Amino acid sequence: MLQVNAINQYYGGSHILRDVSFNAPIGECSVVLGRNGVGKTTLLKCLMGILPIKSGQIFLNDKDISKLTPEQRVREGLAYVPQGRDIFSTLTVEENILIGMAKFSQRKASKVPNHVYEIFPVLDEMKHRRGGDLSGGQQQQLAIARALVSEPTVLILDEPTEGIQPSIIKDIGRVIQDLGRQGNMAIVLVEQFYEFAEELADNYTVLSRGQVVAQGAGNMMAANNIQELVAI
């Protein structure tokens, strides 16, 4: 389980995250919602150690990882799919995926696991093509595959539906559901597309002005009028 306890972050004199706390249990999709500019991406960067927190604590399976580097957090079991995907456009699909296995031995990191291509068959078909030649939706699948090969305990996704055609959004939704059902991974999903988030959420956290304003079970989002809280 990932536990976030009262973390704070600032940009200059602006208080961006204000005592943010939530849990992401193994086997569940924990959705973080909020309007643009409320601190969602900042929160994920703090979870990964890309931004240091000013106060509070982050625990992974009861171990305090608050002061670990991003590389150390990956070794502990975090994996991050950033907004915008950040794939390496001049490398092949296969080379992009293998980069995600850097924490393993050279022998293990020399071959893409077959199950990744089973999850995303299009990547198998295109494994020798350059990442920059893929469509936006295919690049998103590649970014998720690159994260999955690190065998994470926690998979962190920042707006995976952004700029993607509806058919691939459905494919990505099915993958996230399947990963959650396997019961060996916690998923933290930041998402602007409310319907997508509601369909996947086992639990939710809503941010406004950098602080938590609502939390609960995913199946209560409609009853609690969460869509009105996050509407742009």
pLDDT digits (tens, 9 = 90+) for 48-93: 999 999 999 999 999 999 999 999 999 999 999 998 878 999 999 9
- Kindly list the structural domains of the chain, giving each domain's residue range(s) and its CATH number in brackets, ordered by start: 2-230 (3.40.50.300)
Angle (CA) 87-73-94 rounded to 5° is 30
Q: Where are the beta strands (DSSP E) in 13-131?
A: 14-24, 29-33, 55-60, 63-64, 78-81
- Give the model confidence (pLDDT) of 144-188 as tens digits: 999 999 999 999 999 999 888 888 899 999 999 999 888 899 999
Contact residues for 42 (Cβ-Cβ < 8 A; gap 6+)? 9, 11, 16, 17, 51
Q: Quick check: 24 and 188 in contact, CB under 8 A?
A: yes
pLDDT for 232 equals 62
The chain-wide mean pLDDT, for the chain, equals 93
pTM above 0.75, yes or no: yes
Q: Which of 45, 71, 75 is nearest to 58 (CA)?
A: 45
